[in-house]
Structure 1
Amino acid sequence: MGKSLLPPDNGGHDNIEPVDLKKALEDRYLSYALSTIMNRALPDVRDGLKPVHRRIMHAMRLLRLNPDQGFAKCARIVGEVMGKFHPHGDQSIYDALVRLAQDFSMRYPLVDGQGNFGNIDGDNAAAMRYTEARMTDVATELLFGITEDAVDYRPTYNEEDEEPTVLPGAFPNLLANGSSGIAVGMATSVPPHNAAELCDAALHLIDHPDAPVVKLMEFVQGPDFPTGGIIVDSRQSILEAYETGRGGFRVRSRWNQEDQGRGTWVIAVTEIPYGVQKSRLIEKIAELLMARKLPLLEDIRDESAEDIRIVLVPKSRTVDPGLMMESLFKLTELESRFPLNMNVLSRGKVPNVLSLKGVLQEWLDHRREVLVRRSKFRLGEIEKRLEILAGYLIAYLNIDEVIRIIREEDEPKQVMMARWSLTDVQAEAILNMRLRALRKLEEFEIRKEFDALSEEKKQIESLLASVEKQWKTIAWEIQKIRRDFGPEENKELGPRRTQFADAPEHDLTDIAHAMIEKEPVTVVVSEKGWLRAMKGHLTDHSLFGFKEGDGLKLAFHAQTTDKILVFTTGGKFYTIGADRLPGGRGHGEPIRIIVDMENDQDIVTAFVHDPKRKLLLVSHEGNGFVVSEEEVVANTRKGKQVMNVKTPDEATRCLPATGDHVAIVGDNRKMLVFALSEIPEMARGKGVRLQKYKDGGVLDVKTFAMEGGLSWQDSADRTFVRPREELAEWIGNRAAAGRMVPKGFPRTGKFG
C-alpha cells in the first residue's frame, strides 16, 4: 500500500505552541550572534584562520595540491569545500580562496594561483572554472603534522566526514597575514607583520616568558604591509596599541621627487596604503582636481604596470612638493589609517582582545600542545612497530618450527601464540609475512630497525618528560621557519616592505591654503545679513544687486584662502572660510544658513582675519575691552562668545586697536579722548566703562595716534584734523562724561 496523502489525525489538537516573543528573540539572536562570532567572523589565535579558510586548506591537502604537485581547477576545490565542509555559497568560498592567493592582500599568500586572480585596482578574479590553484610553502607549514594526531577533529555539518577544529600552525599566521572581520557586537582587525620579526620575538619569549611588550617591540617594530608604505606614528602610540590590543596605524604612500630638467619636476608614488584600490584612489584625486580642491596639482597620470607608479604633476615649478603632498594626504587615501583591534578567539573558544605578547604566547602554547600530541602519536606508532618486530625476531630464531606449524597445524595462530607467548598482533604479522622476507639478510635489517626505533622511543619519552626539552624543540622549529621565510634565504617574501618615518611638520594654515585655489574675491554683506563672494576685486559698489527692501551694509576685498570674521550684536564671532561663501550669482545666502546665529542678533561688521591685529570691542552702553584677533577665531558653526552683553545692551562696534588714543562720542554729542592703554586686554568678558552717560549710549568710536591728531570727515567728504593742542579740553580719563563735540564736527555724530 502506498503512502497516505492525508495528514495524520491530530486528535482534535491544532499543535500550536504559545512562545514568549521576547525570550524567543533573545535566544535566537544569541545563537545567531554566537554562530557568527565562533564560526564566521573571528580568526582563531592559534592558526590565524577563520573556518572558511581552514576548510579550504584542509580540502586542498586532501586533493594533494602540494607546492611540488600540479594545479587543480578552483571550481574543483570550491566544490570539494562546499560539498564536504562548508555549506555556504560557492561565491563566498571562491572569494576567500582568491584573497588567499593575492600578493597585495596577503603578506604571505597561502594559495599559489594560476590565472587571473584580480588586481590592486579592484578588478575581480576570473570565474573559478578558468583559474587554477595549489598550496604554497606557507600553507604546508600551517598543515605540517596534521596526519599525526596534532589537532582535534570534529564531524562536518552532515556528519559524513571529519574536519580539523584548528590547524597545527607551524607558521605565525595570525600576525604574519593579519585578519579582519565584523561579527555581532564585536569586530577584529589585525594588520600583517614580518614573519622573521615575529619568530625572533617568539624565540625571545621562550627564553624570557616575563618579557614586556616594550621588549618584544625591539623585534616586532610594527606592521609590515604587503603593499609597503610608510607608517608615520610615534613609537609610543605603536607601543600603546600593542600593549592594549587596540589602536591604529597611519600609513602613507611612498613618494619621491623626479627631476624633469629645466627646473621642472614631478612626483612619483610607488607604494600606496594597504587595502586601498588604486583605480578608486586616482578617481578620487581626479574628482578633487576637477572641483579645484587641489590648487597645487596640475595633473595625475597612472603609469603602473606590474608595479605601482602614479605620477603627480605640480601647477608650477615653484610649488613646495612637501606641501603639495601634505594637502593630498589630508584629502585622499594616499594616507589611510589601518585600525588595530586584536579581538580573536582565544584558545579557539573565547573572543578576547589580546596584546602582542598575548597573541605570541597563545601561539607558542599551541605549538607545544601540537608537539606533545605528535610525540605521543609517534610513540604509539613506534610501540606498535616494535611489537611486530619482536614477533619477527622470534620467528627468525625458530623459522623451521614456524614453517612446520603453519604446514601441519589446523590452527597455526593459536599454536604459535601458546608456544612462544606471542600476542595476537605478532602472530598475525608472522602469518602475513611473505616468503621472500625469509632471507638471511632480513634478520639483520629487523635488528637494525628494532635498535633504531628503541633509541627514538627513548628520546621521545625524555622529550615528553621534560618541559625544557619541549621548548628547545619548539625553538628549533621556529628557527627553521625564521630561516625559510627570513630576508636572508627568502629574497622575495623575507625583507620588510613597510618602513617607519615621522610625518614632516608643516604649518597647518599653509596646508589649509594648499587645499584652496587662491583667487581674489569681493565679500558683500547686505543690511539683512545675506553674504556672497563676487569674483575679483570690485570697486564699483553700484553694480551689486539686492533683494527688495535690502541694501549694501559693507563690502571688502579678500582672497579665497582668507578667513572671514563676522561680529554680531550678541558679542559673538563667527569664522567662515572665504572659499565657502556662496558665489556672486544671485543674492548669496543668509548668514543663518552658513552659521548657527541666533534670530535676535544682527551683523555688526565683517572683515578679513589678521592674527597679528588687536581689536577694540564696544557695546552700546559704553563698555569695551581690547582682544587679540587670534583669540576670537571660532572652529565651529556655533561661533565663539567673546563679549558678554545682556539685553537691552548689545555690541555695536568692532575696530582695529591701532594708535595710542581713543575718541568716543555718545548719543548726547559729548566727546571724550583718553589713552588706549587705559582699556584692558581680555580674551572674553563684559569690558570696562569707556564713557559715562545719563541716558543714551555710544554713537561712534575711533582709535588714532595723537601725533597725527584726530581727524573726521563731514558730509561733503572734507577732512578735518585737530592736533593735541586743540583737543586739550576733551582729553581726560576713561569713564568720564566728556564735553560737547568741537565746532565743525559732523551732525551725524560720526567720525566718517
Structure 2
Amino acid sequence: MGQPFEPPTGDGIESVELKSALEERYLAYALSTIMHRALPDARDGLKPVHRRILYGMRLLRLDPNTAHKKCAKIVGDVMGDFHPHGDQAIYDALVRLSQDFAQRYPLVDGQGNFGNIDGDGPAAYRYTEARLTEVARLLLDGIDEDTVDFRPSYNGEKEEPSVLPAAFPNLLANGSQGIAVGMATSIPPHNAAELCDAALYLISHPEATSAQLNTFVQGPDFPTGGILIDAAESIREAYRTGRGAFRVRARWAKEDLGRGTWNIVVTEIPYGIPKARLIEKLAELLQERKLPLLADVRDESAEDVRVVLEPRSRSVDPVILMESLFRLTELEARIPLNMNVLVGGLVPRVIGLAEALREWLDHRRVVLQRRSRHRLGQIERRLEILGGLLIVYLDLDEVIRIIREEDEPKQALMTRFVLTEIQANAILDTRLRSLRKLEEMELKRELDTLTKEKEGIEALLGSEKEQWKSITQQIRAVKKAYGPETAIGRRRTSLENPPDTAGIDFTAALVEREPITVIVSNKGWIRALKGHVADLSGVAFKGDDTLKIAFPSETTAKILVLASNGKVFTLDASKLPGGRGFGDPIRLMVDLDDGTEIVAALPYQPEGKLLIAGSDGRGFLAPADALVANTRKGKGILGLDGDATAALLVPAPEGDHVAVCSADKLLLVFPLAELPELARGKGVRLQRCRQSTLVDACVFNLAEGLPWRDGSGQSRLANAQILEKWMGHRAEAGTLMTRSFPKFERFGR
C-alpha cells in the first residue's frame, strides 16, 4: 500500500460568506443583462446585438447598393468578432431586423425566407442572404469619422462602436422590446416623419413638453397598420410619463355580396399578433359555440392580409359582431408602453417623449462636433502638406539638387526650406510627373478650397446656432426621404374613436341563445337543464339534498340570487354547469359569507321591478337594474335587524295589489301604492309578524285575481270577491286563511 492521503492544509482556500457572494454575483449578472442585452440605448435605439450585426455587416461592405451575402457568413463574423453568444440568438435578431411586419423601418434587406406574419419561422441561415437598408446606412453614416467612441471587443482583438452615429430617430421609429432583471422595456414603433417634425419643433423650442410634441407625434404607427382607439388624453399622459398602453384594433370593412348578403373582411391585424394563431382562436371559439353571430372564418390572404368573417345571418349587425369579436379575440390587442432606456448609454431610466427626442438630438450634436473636428484635422494635415509642396515649387531645381547630391535629403530639405518632417516626406514621395506647372495651379486651387472649408468648420464649431442649423438640415433630409408622400413613410395606423356600444347587451351577442331550466337545491347547488323542463320528478340530487327552486330561462340571461344576509349576487346563465351531474355549489361562484344560505333565485328582467323582504316582515320594491352586481362580492340590498334574515325576492309585474303571508297562515292584501321604491335599505313593514315570520308574497292585479298553489301542486285563483275578507293596509297583521285557501302551499302559478 502507498502512503495515506494527506488532507489539504487550507492554504489558498478563501472563505466567502454565501449571502455576500450571491449578492455580488447576481448584481453583476443583472447589470450585464441591463447594460449589454435587454435595454436599448436612448441615442441610437439599438441593443448591443443589433449594433454588432449592423457594424459587422458594414465591415463586410454589405451596403444597400451591393449584392446580398449569406446570413451564415454574417452570423459567423459577428459571433467570432463581436458577439460571443449563440449563433441562433444572432440570427434571430438579424431576422427580426429584416421583417417588414415587425420593424416599421427594416434595417436589413433580406433575400429568402425570413418568416411571415402567420408566425412561421425563417429558413436556416445557410439558405438566406442579407444586406443593409438605406435606414441602416443612415444609422452608420459617419462611423469612420471619429463620431463615436469605440471599445475593445470581447477578446480584445478588434474594436466595436459603443453607439452608432444614428442620423435616423431609430429608438421611437422602430421601437424596442426587452426584459432585463427587475426592469423591462416596451416601445412601439412610430412614424419617422412625425418624429422629425417633433424634433425640429424641439430644436426651435428647447423647453417644449411631451404634450406639445403630441401635436406632431399622434401615437404609434405600427408596420401592420390597424386602428388606435385610445382617447387623446390617455395618449398624452402615456407619452408624458413614458408608461402606459395603447389599444389597437384590426381594420375591417363590410363587403356586400348582393341580395342582402355580406361578409366582413379584415385587412390589417394588430401589431405582434401571429395571423395563424388569431384564426386558430376564432375557429376554436366557433367550435365551442361562443360566437353565435359568426358562421365561419376563412383566411384568403396572399401578399396582403385578408381574413373573411361570415355572419350567421344577414340580419346580424356588423358592428355588434365585430365588437363581440374584439372582446373575445386578439382582433383587439393591448400594446404596452414602457420607455425604459439607457440614458447616455449608462443609466437605465423611464423617459417621456420629449426627453427621448432630446437624447437623440443631443447625440446628433455631439456627432456633428466630432465629425467636424475630425474633418478639421484632416484639412489641417493636408494644408500642411500643400504648404510644403508650394514652397518647393518656387525652387524646383534646388530640390532636385538636394535629392540627388545630399546623403540625408530629408534633413537637408527641412533645413533649406524650413519644412516640417511631414512636409519633407510629402516632397520626397512626390512623383516627377507631378512637377508640371499645371499641377502647381491645382495645388493652389486645392489650398484655397480647403482654407475656405476650414473657416466654415471653425465657424460651425464656434456657434451653437450654426450647429443646430446644420442638424435641422440633416433632419429635413431624413423627413423628405421618409415623408408621408413616400410608400414607406405614409402613416399606416389611423386614430379613430370606437363606436358607441353603451346600449348593446353583449351577453346576448357572445352566447348562443338556448332555452334552459335553472335548478337550485336546498343545499345551494345550481345547474341548468337544456330546454324548458316541466316535469322535474326525475331530477336527481346529491345525498339527501332536494329541490328548492326551479324556473325556465335562457343561456343569455342573468340570474339574480338572494342570500339570507340580504345580499344579491348575479350569475351568468351561460356559465352555469350542465344538467348531467348534480351541478356546482353557488359558493364556488360568489363570495358567500359563512352561515348564509340561498333564499331565492330568479331570472333578471331589464327595467323590471322586484319585491324584496325579510323574515321580520319588512321590505320594499326595488328596480331590477339596481340589484345586478358585476363582481363576486354581490350587492348588499336588504338591511336586516337582529335575528331577521332575507326571506323572499319575487317579481313585481304591472300589478296593483300585494298579498303577503306569514308562517302561521295569516294573509294580508293591500294596495301596491303603499310600498316605497328603493335601491337598497331596510324598507317598510309589509305585515306585522310578532310571533311568526314572513314566508311568501305576490304582486298581482286584483281584477285578474290572486294565483296560488295547493299542496298537490294544483294551480288556483282567488278573485276579488273572495279576497275581500283579507283586504287591508300595509303593516297590519292580516287574517287567518280559512277554507277559502285549502292546503295553501305558495303564491303563483
Q: TM-score, normalised by structure 1?
A: 0.95
Rate the CA distance shift 1:720–1:444 in 2: closer, same or farther, 3 A: closer
Using the alignment, how far apart are the partners of 1:699 and 1:269 within structure 2? 57
Contact 2:291 2:512 in 1 (8 A): yes
Aligned match of 1:43: 40
Rate the CA distance shift 1:600–1:38 in 2: closer, same or farther, 3 A: same
1:686 matched to 2:678: no
The equivalences for 1:356-435 within 5 A come to: 356-435=353-432
**How far 1:160 moved relative to its partner?**
1.2
Using the alignment, how far apart are the partners of 1:279 and 1:711 within structure 2? 59
Using the alignment, how far apart are the partners of 2:602 and 2:659 within structure 1? 22
Q: Structure 2 residue aligned with 1:58, among 47, 55, 60?
A: 55
Q: Structure 1 residue aligned with 2:530, among 535, 547, 550?
A: 535
Residue 498 of structure 1 aligns with an amino acid whose one-letter code is T
Q: Structure 1 residue aligned with 2:318, among 316, 321, 324?
A: 321
Rate the CA distance shift 1:171–1:300 in 2: closer, same or farther, 3 A: same
Using the alignment, how far apart are the partners of 1:702 and 1:227 within structure 2? 60
Q: Structure 2 residue aligned with 1:677, among 638, 659, 673?
A: 673
Residue 290 of structure 2 aligns with an amino acid whose one-letter code is K
**How far 1:602 moved relative to its partner?**
2.9
The equivalences for 1:192-231 within 5 A come to: 192-231=189-228
1:77 matched to 2:69: no
Residue 174 of structure 1 aligns with an amino acid whose one-letter code is L
1:643 matched to 2:638: yes
Using the alignment, how far apart are the partners of 2:175 and 2:189 within structure 1? 4
Aligned match of 2:691: 695
Using the alignment, how far apart are the partners of 2:379 and 2:733 within structure 1? 113
Q: Structure 2 residue aligned with 1:569, among 564, 570, 587?
A: 564
Q: TM-score, normalised by structure 2?
A: 0.95
SS in 1 for 2:336: strand
Contact 1:713 1:746 in 2 (8 A): no
Contact 2:244 2:336 in 1 (8 A): yes
Aligned match of 1:737: 733
The equivalences for 1:607-646 within 5 A come to: 607-645=602-640
Rate the CA distance shift 1:74–1:508 in 2: closer, same or farther, 3 A: farther
**How far 1:508 moved relative to its partner?**
6.4
Rate the CA distance shift 1:10–1:383 in 2: closer, same or farther, 3 A: farther
1:516 matched to 2:499: no
Aligned match of 2:163: 166
Using the alignment, how far apart are the partners of 1:399 and 1:178 within structure 2? 62
Using the alignment, how far apart are the partners of 2:726 and 2:32 within structure 1? 87
Rate the CA distance shift 1:536–1:397 in 2: closer, same or farther, 3 A: same
Residue 144 of structure 2 aligns with an amino acid whose one-letter code is T
Using the alignment, how far apart are the partners of 1:687 and 1:35 within structure 2? 67
**How far 1:243 moved relative to its partner?**
1.1
Aligned match of 1:4: none
1:341 matched to 2:338: yes
Using the alignment, how far apart are the partners of 1:522 and 1:66 within structure 2? 72
Residue 678 of structure 2 aligns with an amino acid whose one-letter code is M
Using the alignment, how far apart are the partners of 1:358 and 1:119 within structure 2? 34
Rate the CA distance shift 1:196–1:749 in 2: closer, same or farther, 3 A: closer
Using the alignment, how far apart are the partners of 2:747 and 2:68 within structure 1? 92
Contact 1:665 1:749 in 2 (8 A): no
**How far 1:748 moved relative to its partner?**
4.1
Q: Structure 2 residue aligned with 1:585, among 580, 583, 587?
A: 580
Using the alignment, how far apart are the partners of 2:71 and 2:716 within structure 1? 91
Task: Kindly tell me the number of residue pairs found equivalent between the two proteins.
Answer: 741
Aligned match of 1:268: 265
Contact 2:229 2:248 in 1 (8 A): yes
Moved more, 703-712 or 59-68: 703-712
Aligned match of 1:5: none
**How far 1:595 moved relative to its partner?**
3.1
Residue 733 of structure 2 aligns with an amino acid whose one-letter code is A
Residue 484 of structure 2 aligns with an amino acid whose one-letter code is P
Rate the CA distance shift 1:699–1:272 in 2: closer, same or farther, 3 A: closer
Aligned match of 1:437: 434
Unmatched 5+ residue regions in structure 1? Answer: 1-8
SS in 1 for 2:25: helix
Contact 1:669 1:749 in 2 (8 A): no
Rate the CA distance shift 1:72–1:718 in 2: closer, same or farther, 3 A: closer
Percent identity over the alignment is 60
Using the alignment, how far apart are the partners of 1:166 and 1:27 within structure 2? 28
Using the alignment, how far apart are the partners of 1:299 and 1:702 within structure 2? 47
Moved more, 544-553 or 362-371: 544-553
Deviation readout 1:126-169 (Å, 9 max, x if unpaired): 11111111111111110111111000111111111111110000
1:293 matched to 2:290: yes
Deviation readout 1:299-353 (Å, 9 max, x if unpaired): 1111111111111111111111111111111111111011111111111111111
Using the alignment, how far apart are the partners of 2:409 and 2:7 within structure 1? 65
Aligned match of 2:118: 121
Using the alignment, how far apart are the partners of 2:585 and 2:203 within structure 1? 69
Using the alignment, how far apart are the partners of 1:694 and 1:406 within structure 2? 135
**How far 1:616 moved relative to its partner?**
1.4
SS in 2 for 1:126: coil
